[in-house]
Structure 1
Amino acid sequence: MKFICNTRELSTACNNVIRAVSTKVTIPTIEGILIECGSNTLSLTGYDFEFGINTIMNVDVVEPGAIVINAKVLCDIIRKLNNDEVTIETNGTSVSIISGAAQYNITGIDADDYPELPSVNNGKRIELEQSIIYSMINQTVFAVADTESSKPVYTGLKFVIENGMLTMVGVDGYRLAIRKESIGYDGEDIEFVVPKKTIKEIVKLFNLEDDKKISILISKRHIVFEIDNYSIISRLLDGEFIDYQAAIPKVSSTTILINTNDAIDCIERTLPVIENNQKNPIRCLFDGDQMRVSTVSSLGRVVDYTHANTSGDRVEIGFNSKFMLDALHASDTDEVKIELGGPVSPAVIKPINSDSFIFLVLPMRLKNEN
């Protein structure tokens, strides 16, 4: 195998593909990047048996072939080259990398030993605008669980496609985020759960200045996201997901209309004296035309106020400050509506005039301040 290509383009491709290379399983083959040369094209693949990234780029191919090269070694070498072009040539499993005056000779691995990526040839295909899916992910992924301490399926973002509507749902046992968008899809209904790791990686490949659509191919066990010249394949998560529609309270006794940034600023002013979000809740009092926020810890005590339009019952309720801030930061409206059913019911945060997003935050038990 022998090819010549632009150094910067190869470095960018390697740095994207390496994110799918295994860092937990010490198997030399999947610690590497599969390099395959065809007719003036170069394919780079990283895969850890659960998540894979492949990209294809145009290069000057002198001799087709394939090899696996340790991903970290390859990326480090290409990143340090200062010449515009690089030539990579193999002789068996011996790899030569030449760029300007620099010449490296390293050992690769036979490409036949590399695992085959799952096939999704018979999957259902949908296309989405990059800006839409980017916005929807930003407003839901914060609520996806980071660990499998509750249920593994909650470490993924749920997609529901039905009646021309896409719904994304994130949940971690303490909060719930729901985002809806009309996508004009007229195929059969689909629902699936994509691991949080995959979601975070595909966002890094978005080019929001480009109006190209993202193509998504879904099979029973795997999903492929096609973004520009990249293909990202991932397994899907199995398990029974929460009935998110039933989780939303149907009635409320208190409704608050509040400026989103004012609420964020008021809560953030309590952070300097919060030692531990799990042990030091913020105490929110909604009454009349104000929101009173306070907290106390061994570091001290803080009380702050901001304007709010409260209707219904006066209510005092405790929250994890991070969970409330995550929900408010994810709101893309100047004002939000907060609905409360009392001091022990979840807070429902949503736009004033629509239901494009709904965030639920569970309350925390408050102790007497004295």
Structure 2
Amino acid sequence: MKFTCLHENLNKGLNQVSHLASKNVSLPILNNVMIVCEGGVIKLSATNLEIGVNTIIRGKVEEEGKITIPAKTIADYINLLSDDKVEISSQDNSLFIASRNTKTIIKGQGVEEFPLIPLVEQKEAYYIKTKEFKKAISQTVYAVAQDESRPEISGVFLSISGETATLVATDSYRLAEKKVKLTKTSKKNIAIIIPTRTILELSRILSEEVNQLEMYFNDNQIMFVCEGVEIISRIIEGQYPDYKQIIPQEYKTTASFSREGMVKAVKGAALFSKTGINDVNIKIDPTGNKLIISSANTQLGESVAEFKAEVVGEANEIVFNHRYLLDGLSNLESSEATISLINRSNPGALMAKGDNEFTYIIMPIKQ
């Protein structure tokens, strides 16, 4: 195998795939990245058996071949180089790297034991804007359940219908839902659960400079394709809970307020919340058109903050976990936000004012 490429291209490709190769004692080959030169194409691949990543890098192939190399070693070394061009060749399971001022040999392995990364047949593509999809990931993935005893909520739910893709995550204490428009109306509805690790890898690898992301599905896999990069993952088996049942259809009280003001008030109250409970009390006063955020701790003291709000409906009060509340507030893309309540026993909703694409539901702390 022999090829020449720009240092920038090789470094970018290795950064895209090497992160997936982790220290695996039982199957050491998974610590490697596979380099394949075939048909004039240079391809880098890595897998952890649940997720696989392939990326094509531009360069000049002089001799075809294949080899696997310890991912961390080659990625760290290439990252240190400052030359414009790099010449790569292999012989007897060793990789030779030559640049203007350096020559290096890295011991590798053959490709015989490297797991095959099965691709999803590219029959029907679903197209979405890369920037919007990355934003949807960041607005939902933090709400995924960390406890894998319920695998159906340990990933992000993706549903596609018509011209809308919806991402949902929940840990049963709060729920985040984000809707994104497809760039092309889908012919077939999709409903799958994507592992959290896959979603995080996807967000890390995707570049917002690339306008469009393609998605392909089969019965147990999903494949994302974006400018020469393929990310293939299994999907989580099982049925995602009917989350729409917990989203209230009507509320008795809605208050519009300054998001920044609310964040400061909640952070202040959080300092006096009870350890392990993280409780803050929210009171909506329609008479004074204001929100009152408070918390009390017998050992530390108490905090009460009032600020203006536009209130529609009756007086209301609820107790939330301040960590969950701040997570929701930080993901609202507006300076003005709304909170909607039924009573202190039912879920409440946060939304950016005038934005129906992102909904954040929080279960109350019942006292």
TM over 0.5: yes
Per-residue Cα deviation, 1:199-239 (whole angstroms, up to 9, x for no partner): 122222333344x2111111111111111121111111111
Change (3 A) 1:357 1:81: closer
1:48 to 1:279, Cα distance in 2 relative to 1, 3 A: same
Output the CA distance in 2 between the equivalents of 1:301 and 1:107: 62
Q: How many residues align?
A: 363
AA matched with 1:302: S
Residues in 1 aligned to 2:95 and 2:206: alpha-carbon distance in whole angstroms: 32
Distance 1:280 1:72, change over 3 A: same
- Aligned partners of 1:124 and 1:219 also within 8 Å: no
Alignment pair present for 1:280 and 2:281: no
Tell me the distance in 2 between the aligned counterparts of 1:177 and 1:262.
Answer: 22
Q: What is the aligned partner in structure 2 of residue 109 from structure 1?
A: 109
1:248 maps to 247
Q: Which residue of the partner structure matches residue 177 of structure 1?
A: 176
- Look up the match of 1:42: 42
Q: Is the 8 A contact 1:178 1:358 kept in 2?
A: yes
Whether 1:310 and 2:311 are equivalent positions in the alignment is yes
- Residue 231 (structure 2) aligns with: 232
Alignment partners' CA distance in 1, 2:9 and 2:188? 39
Q: Per the alignment, do residues 23 and 347 of structure 1 end up closer, same or farther by CA in structure 2, a change over 3 Å counting?
A: farther
Shift of residue 136, structure 1, vs aligned partner: 2.2
**Whole-angstrom CA distance in 1 between matches of 2:186 and 2:5:** 43
Task: Report if the CA contact (8 A) 2:253-2:311 is conserved.
Answer: yes
For residue 52 of structure 1, what is the aligned residue in structure 2? 52
- Alpha carbons of 1:274 and 1:70: their partners in 2 closer, same or farther (altered >3 Å)? farther
Matching residue of 1:137: 137
Looking at structure 2, the residues matched to 101 and 78 of structure 1 have their Cα atoms a distance apart, in angstroms, of 13
Q: Which residue of 2 aligns with 1:334?
A: 335
CA distance in 2, matches of 1:323, 1:275: 15
AA paired with 1:174? Y
Deviates more, 1:6-15 or 1:222-231: 6-15
Contact 2:221–2:234 under 8 Å retained in 1: yes
- Larger mean Cα displacement after TM superposition, 109-118 or 96-105: 96-105
Residue ranges of structure 2 left out of the alignment (5+ in a row): none
Instruction: Report how far residue 328 of structure 1 moved.
Output: 1.5
What whole-Å deviation, never above 9, does each CA across 1:3-22 have from its counterpart, x for those lacking one? 22222321221122112213
Distance in structure 1 (CA, Å) of the matches to 2:278 and 2:136:
31
Q: Distance in 2 between matches of 1:179 and 1:294?
A: 29
TM-score for the superposition, normalised by structure 2: 0.92
- Per the alignment, residue 15 of structure 1 pairs with 15
2:128 is aligned with 1:128: yes
Alignment-derived partner of residue 346 in structure 1: 347
How much has 1:162 moved relative to structure 2?
1.5
Percent identity, aligned pairs only? 27
In 2, Cα distance between equivalents of 1:269 and 1:228: 45
1:116 positional shift: 0.4
**CA–CA distance in structure 2, aligned partners of residues 261 and 94 of structure 1:** 57
Q: What is the alpha-carbon distance in structure 2 between the residues aligned to residue 44 and residue 67 of structure 1?
A: 10
> Structure 1: how far apart are the matches of 2:209 and 2:15?
21
What residue is the counterpart of 2:263 in the other structure? 264
Partner residue of 2:33?
Answer: 33
> Aligned letter for 2:173?
Y
1:224/1:233 contact within 8 Å kept: yes
- CA deviation after TM superposition for structure 1 residue 354, in Å: 5.2
Supply the distance in 1 between the matched residues of 2:357 and 2:28 (Cα, whole angstroms).
Answer: 46
- Which residue identity is paired with 2:2? K
Change (3 A) 1:63 1:190: same
Q: How far did 1:249 drift?
A: 1.8
CA contact (8 A) 1:139 1:177 kept: yes
CA change 1:143–1:280 in 2 (3 A) is closer
- Partner amino acid for 2:283? L
Shift, 1:122, TM fit: 5.6
Separation (CA, whole Å) in 2 of partners of 1:46 and 1:93: 17
Change (3 A) 1:12 1:131: closer
Change (3 A) 1:356 1:101: closer
Relative to structure 2, which stretch is displaced further, 153-162 or 289-298? Answer: 289-298
**Secondary structure at the counterpart of residue 249 of structure 2:** coil
Matched residues in 2 for 1:8 and 1:204: separation? 18
Letter in 2 for 1:146: Q
* Structure 1: distance between partners of 2:28 and 2:255: 57
254-263 or 223-232, which moves further after superposition?
254-263
In the other structure, the counterpart of 1:320 is: 321
Instruction: State the shift of 1:72 in Å.
Output: 1.0
Q: Is the 8 A contact 1:205 1:227 kept in 2?
A: no
| Paired AA for residue 51 in structure 1 | I
Q: Tell me how far 1:349 sits from its aligned partner.
A: 1.9
1:355 is paired with a residue of what secondary structure? Answer: coil
Counterpart of 1:113 in 2: which secondary structure? coil
* Pairwise CA distance, 1:195: 1.4
Q: Which runs of 5+ in 1 are unaligned?
A: none
